[in-house]
A and B are shown apart, each in its own frame.
Chain A
Amino acid sequence: MSSSLDLPPKGEFSFDLCRRNAMLESKGLKAPTFLKTGTTIVGLVFQDGVILGADTRATEGPIVADKNCEKIHYMAPNIYCCGAGTAADTEAVTDMVSSQLQLHRYHTGRESRVVTALTLLKKHLFNYQGHVSAALVLGGVDITGPHLHTIYPHGSTDTLPFATMGSGSLAAMSVFESKYKESLSRDEGIQLVVEAISAGIFNDLGSGSNVDVCVITKGHKDYLRNHLLPNPRTYVNPKGFTFPKKTEVLSTKITPLKEVEVIEGDAMEIA
């Protein structure tokens, strides 16, 4: 038996289809587009902690694939991360680092620090030289205080009081640059984040649908999923669709599902 057996290699990428894919491309078959999150993601530091915000549109080329996806990923109870770029990469990298942080928490017996997550993420992304296309806004509150960082696909990071990433970042940054100030209150902070994301939703074609907000303070977090729904569907036909001409069926096969019966056996006797 050859070594192409399906037992999973321990967590590495496997490159065994690369040759075949390169051959297909040389024959003129273009590679497919991946699910991207066009996105507007933002973060800001306010007086008690960090607020993260994101839109909820996922695109596949010019088509909207998901109208309500989740872009704010859980990393640790006190750390969340927004992701832009190739959706599979942001999900995989945040899941992976989240697991690594959990193992680290078990190892050290302490709450995770934001810089730990930062270092784990930037190491992974730099290792793959930007081919893992994930642009992240990482925010959290740990024992040393509130922290907000941005991480670029090639592995560079910035530490900032307010940050935006994604295709809608310019629209959101314009709102932040004009209205941000130090020591915002919680409500002012949420209001500013919602305005920035809305600027992205309405002005950038790669961002849309709803606004998700996550407020992280010392010892507490509030994940406000779909905090604002500025794009409801207004054209619902109350009568619904009726099909006057029924579908023609060539054959039908009905398989009843067996009910699984759990038979309690006798208790084992150890004489």
Chain B
Amino acid sequence: MSIFEYNGSAVVAMVGKNCFAIASDRRLGVQLQTIATDFQRIFKIHDKLFIALSGLATDAQTLYQRLVFRHKLYQLREERDMKPETFASLVSALLYEKRFGPYFCQPVIAGLGDGDKPFICTMDCLGAKELAKDFVVSGTASESLYGACEAMFKPDMEPEELFETISQALQSSVDRDCLSGWGGHVYVVTPTEVTERILKGRMD
């Protein structure tokens, strides 16, 4: 079994019209046993920047704590929030520092940049950035997620339609993956509000 399959995860982020959505599953497992069905994988860095960490849960939590620490220092020095592109470079540098003994996490970063332009990117566990204009996926269900998003994605979707699309893509992909699922957690972020929804899914 791969280290990434120890806990199981599924994360996806999509770009819409002046908004973005980021979604994850809620299962925390130890190989084939489920130990939590309300695990938090998506973390807020600041109002318009979210990061979701798939992979080994302990590394995800440790990496999140380090990132919050670095962002708070940045806020104190610069007296403003970090831009998503800058944050992505920070995450990439932190991961590449551990090139020969990496954190087993694949982050998905989503935020609203200058002029509230949506920004999404993902990285492998060494910090190789992959910027995309449409969607990014990560986790044990990533192969199904690639297929589902490729088929369901349309450019310039409004927040309601974006929510429906990302939820359907997430649910249909995790239903085909034993290691992720048990509901869904979706954040849809527009320049004026953040909508957080918990989805009802198959609990198997």
Is B199 within 8 A of A249, CB to CB? yes
Q: Contact between A257 and B192 (Cβ–Cβ < 8 Å)?
A: yes
What are 27 of the A-B contact pairs (CB < 8 Å)? A14-B101, A16-B101, A17-B103, A21-B104, A29-B2, A34-B125, A35-B123, A69-B130, A87-B124, A87-B128, A88-B127, A88-B128, A91-B92, A91-B129, A92-B96, A241-B168, A246-B164, A247-B168, A247-B171, A248-B199, A249-B197, A249-B200, A250-B198, A252-B196, A255-B194, A255-B195, A256-B192
On whether A252 and B197 interact (CB within 8 A), knowing A60-B124, A66-B132, A247-B171, the answer reads yes
Size class of the A contact interface (CB-based, 8 Å) = 35 or more
Q: Are B126 and A86 in contact (CB under 8 A)?
A: yes
- Does A3 count as interface, using CB distance less than 8 angstroms? no
Say yes or no: is A232 at the interface (Cβ < 8 Å to chain B): no
Does A109 belong to the interface (CB within 8 Å)?
no
> In the assembled complex, which residues on chain B have CB atoms less than 8 Å from the CB atom of A8?
93, 97
B169 nearest in chain A by CB position: A241
A257 contact from B183, B191, B198, Cβ within 8 A: B191
B198 touches A30 (CB 8 A): no
Q: In the docked arrangement, what's the CA distance between A254 and B194, Å? A: 6
Please report A residues at the B interface, Cβ cutoff 8 Å: 6, 8-9, 12-21, 24, 28-32, 34-35, 58, 60, 63-66, 69, 86-89, 91-92, 131-132, 240-241, 243, 246-258
Give CA–CA (A47, B202) in the complex, Å: 64
* B200/A35 in contact, CB under 8 A: no
Report if B39 contacts A (CB, 8 A): no
Q: Pick the residue among B3, B143, B154 that contacts A32 (CB under 8 A).
A: B3
Report which of B69, B96, B146, B171 forms a contact with A88, defined as CB distance below 8 A.
Answer: B96
Inter-chain CA distance A15–B70, complex, in Å, is 20
Q: B-side interface residues toward A, CB under 8 Å?
A: 1-4, 6, 47-48, 55, 66, 69-70, 92-93, 95-104, 123-130, 132, 142-143, 146, 151-152, 154, 163-165, 167-168, 171, 183, 191-200
With A and B bound together, what is the CA distance between A92 and B99 in angstroms? 10
Bound form: Cα–Cα A250–B196 in Å: 11
By beta carbon, the residue of chain B nearest A13 is: B99
CB within 8 Å for A21 and B1 given contacts A254-B194, A257-B47: no
From A18, A92, A257, B127 is in contact (CB under 8 Å) with A92
Report yes or no: A14 in contact with B1, Cβ–Cβ below 8 A. no
Name the residue of chain B whose CB is nearest to the CB of A17: B101
Contact A86 B198 (CB under 8 A): no
By the criterion CB–CB under 8 Å, are A35 and B124 in contact? yes
Q: Which of A240, A251, A254 contacts B193 (CB 8 A)?
A: A254
| Chain A positions within 8 Å of B128 at CB level | 34-35, 58, 86-88, 91
Q: Tell whether A30 pairs with B2 under 8 Å between CB atoms, given A243-B164, A251-B197.
A: yes
- Cβ-closest chain B residue relative to A65: B130
> Across the interface, do A131 and B126 meet the contact criterion of CB distance under 8 Å?
no
From the candidates A13, A63, A92, A258, name the one contacting B100 in the complex (CB within 8 A).
Answer: A13
Q: Is the CB of A9 within 8 A of B97?
A: yes
Contact flag A132-B124 (CB < 8 Å), given A6-B70, A63-B146, A257-B191? no
Q: How many angstroms between the C-alpha atoms of A250 and B93 in the bound complex?
A: 38
Choose among B3, B151, B183, B198 the residue that contacts A24 (Cβ–Cβ < 8 A). B3
Q: In the complex, what residue of chain B is closest to A37 when comparing beta carbons?
A: B128
How many whole Å from A104's CB to the nearest CB in chain B? 22
Additional A-B contacts beyond A18-B101, A60-B124, A65-B124 (6; CB < 8 A)? A13-B99, A21-B101, A91-B129, A247-B163, A253-B196, A256-B192
Report yes or no: B130 in contact with A58, Cβ–Cβ below 8 A. yes
Known A-B contacts A254-B193, A255-B194; A88 and B126 likewise in contact (beta carbons under 8 Å): yes
C-alpha spacing A247/B175, complex, angstroms: 14
Q: Residue on B with the closest CB to A11? A: B97
A14 touches B130 (CB 8 A): no
Q: Who on chain B is nearest to A19 by CB?
A: B101
- B146, closest chain A residue (CB): A63
